[in-house]
Structure 1
Amino acid sequence: MAVVQVAEDLVPVADTEHCKAEARSEPLHACRSPAGALPALPPNPGAPRRWEQRADGTAELPSPPPAPNRAAPRSHRTPPTPSRRPVGRVPLYPGHIPTSPLQKALLAAGSACAALWDPYRHDMVAVLGETTGCLALPTLRDRMRNDPEGYRILQERPRIRLSTLDMARLRGLPDGALGREYIRFLEDNKVSPDTRMPAKFVDDEELAYVIQRYREVHDLMHTLLGMPTNMLGEVVVKWFEAVQTGLPMCVLGAAFGPVRLNARKLQVLATELLPWAVRSGRNASCVLNVYYEQRWEQSVESLREEIGIFPPPAVRV
């Protein structure tokens, strides 16, 4: 009877019933240890927590077992942080700046105003060409793809830079050779192919190379047409390029460039140079389909005839 009394004093009601149930199935002495302490019951995670007896005879409630490390329900899990970059705005090539149609329109308007105010702002002219060439550039690319030499240019991606030019060899070519006349043009007009801006706003890697190629052969157009870099010479080249490429930037330059010319130069342009530039642009094959890097030794006259450019008028530009 004393054993039951001790158990009732130390164990809650629910535990007393459990001990009584065990006492009915086992002898009474099995419920007491030799030292008189409460028996050690087997662990049962689902059973209520029992009071434990300390060494000094007092009782304490043991610490609860640690909670199982269960994964949170799928509905409560923190969703992965989405990328902040909008779909379709990933750079497509080194230096590419993705822009929306609205951004392109704003860039085109601003660069057009700046280029008309100062035609020698090559950076603004470059932005204008990239943001307005969405229709002309695919046409130029297709013309290059359909030509054997143009297709090879698209595959090999040559660049005209000071680092790729053998200046000493080109200077050593005979007068009249394309390479020699090209170097003469660069030195006489104090220009460099390295000043051509890299493409940034064209949303296609291949089209970006097409407009880059157009920029890098621009000085070769001056060489083939025999035009200097003054305003009259630039207007004549722009008329030729506008007919050849259809780029809106070239059309704007050809249309608004003459407003800066004086009366004498306007007369020369209207009567001599403009008709010749338009006829040559229409008659010539695509100037982007010429692998100029492999034509340095060819004479300018021979290359003009091959492309279809008429000899320039004998007028002072």
Structure 2
Amino acid sequence: MTKLWRNPMATSRVDTKRRYRPLVALKALRTLLRDKEDTKQVFTIVDALGGPAFEKMYRRFRTQANALEILERPRMLCDVLGDRAYLGSLPEGSLGRDYLAFVEREQITADGLVAASDEGYQSDRQTLDPLMRRLGERLRDSHDLYHVLGQYGRDGMGELNVLAFTHGVSGNPGILLVVLGGIHKLRQEYPEQRTLAMVYQSWQLGRAATFLPGADWEALLPVQTGEVRRMLGIGTPTLYHASGLKDSETPQGVMPVAA
């Protein structure tokens, strides 16, 4: 594979002037709240508000000793996660096998996020440094790994909480906007539930975890899921589990995150 990065010490040619576009984000949020199946709106919101936070995350990622090795691999993470024969060959109880069971049960695919992101992004991602773009793709593709490791279902409350967890990890204001919109909607749907408390706990769990954007997911897939949780410092969302809502409804759209 042609190296995407030739001189780690050189100034990166990245688009560092990406401006916030709040009106675009608010319009997309209104559309999303009307139709939770319209996944591409999440990517539009993240794209409109997430630039500076993503660039900060990228700079942190580059300090890792294995950063270039991860980003210059021939196969994208999406391709690995879409290889069901490989995942099925992994040990029982491993992250890869549990991920496979999750996507088969929910009847979803890794490349579904790719299609939604291609529709949702409005900025020209080709102006980004190739490695920065590759990191954004890994973050997008790891959304359902967060579901498995964080123990979140794909019910509406589970999606809201996995987003709160993700915001705790990334600090992306676009994700926060989606979370706030989701809180408003789900408090109306489940007035008896402790929605705010659940979301706050999930956010704290994301904050307490290790730097998940830097995780070597390919190397972790064969490892037992419980051990991966321990290694990455991922706790259990006890309030969400106690709510009785986990997997209690037909999934109401996917809310993936790209940065």
> Does residue 1:208 correspond to 2:133, yes or no?
yes
d(CA) in 2 for partners of 1:249, 1:116: 15
**1:250 corresponding residue in structure 2:** 175
Q: Give the whole-Å Cα distance in 2 for the aligned partners of 1:249 and 1:275.
A: 17
Asked if 1:239 is matched to 2:239, the reply is: no
Indicate the residue corresponding to 1:309 in structure 2.
Answer: 234
Q: Deviations over 1:156-197 (max 9, x none)?
A: 375233576431231233332100010111111111111122
| 190, 203, 215: which one aligns with 1:263 | 190
Change in Cα spacing, 1:156 to 1:265, as seen in structure 2 (3 Å) is farther
Q: Secondary structure at the match of 1:131?
A: helix
CA distance in 2, matches of 1:172, 1:100: 43
How big is each residue's C-alpha offset from its partner over 1:114-168, in whole Å with a ceiling of 9 and x where there is no partner? 2233233121111221121121111110121112244432333752335764312
How far is the alpha carbon of 1:306 from its aligned partner? 0.9
Query: Aligned partners of 2:146, 2:30: CA distance in 1, in Å?
Result: 25
Does the C-alpha gap of structure 1 residues 190 and 265 become closer, same or farther in structure 2, counting only changes over 3 Å? farther
SS of 1:301's partner is: helix
Q: Which residue of the partner structure matches residue 217 of structure 2? A: 292
Shift of 1:229: 1.2
Aligned to 2:147: 222
TM (norm. structure 2) is 0.73
TM-score, scaled to structure 1: 0.61
Q: Secondary structure at the match of 2:77?
A: coil
Give the letter aligned to residue 63 of structure 2: N
1:59 — aligned with what? Answer: none
CA contact (8 A) 2:95 2:220 kept: yes
Query: Partners in 2 of 1:194 and 1:265 — Cα distance?
Result: 36
Between the two proteins, what is the percent identity of the paired residues? 22
1:192 maps to 109
Q: CA RMSD in A?
A: 2.8
Which of structures 1 and 2 has the bigger CA Rg?
1
Q: In the alignment, what sits opposite 1:278?
A: 203
Q: What secondary structure sits across from 1:161 in the alignment?
A: helix
Name 2:78's counterpart in structure 1: 161
Return the structure number with greater relative CO, CA threshold 8 A, min gap 6: 2
Match for residue 93 of structure 2?
176
Aligned partners of 1:211, 1:254: CA distance in 2, in Å? 20
The amino acid across from 2:103 in the alignment is L
1:144 alignment partner in structure 2: 61
Structure 1 ranges of 4+ moved more than 6 A:
none
Contact 1:189 1:228 in 2 (8 A): no
Distance across 2 between alignment mates of 1:164 and 1:108: 30
Q: Distance in 1 between matches of 2:207 and 2:139?
A: 17
Q: Is the 8 A contact 1:226 1:312 kept in 2?
A: yes
Number of equivalenced pairs: 218
Aligned with residue 125 of structure 1, among 42, 61, 68: 42
In 2: Cα distance, 1:234 partner to 1:264 partner: 17
Residues 210, 114 of structure 1: alpha-carbon distance in 2 compared, 3 angstrom cutoff: farther
Name the structure where helix makes up a greater proportion of residues.
Answer: 2
Cα 1:200–1:187 shift into 2, 3 Å = same
Aligned-partner Cα distance in 1 for 2:192–2:37: 19
Equivalent residue letter for 1:298: V
Where structure 1 has 5 or more consecutive residues not aligned to the other structure, the ranges are 1-91, 94-98
- The residue type equivalent to 2:190 in the other structure is A
- Give, in angstroms, the shift of residue 275 of structure 1: 4.3
- Unaligned stretches of 5+ residues in structure 2: 1-12, 247-259
CA distance in 1, matches of 2:89, 2:58: 34
Name the CA distance, whole Å, in 2 between partners of 1:165 and 1:286.
24
Alpha-carbon distance in 1 for matches of 2:134, 2:75: 10
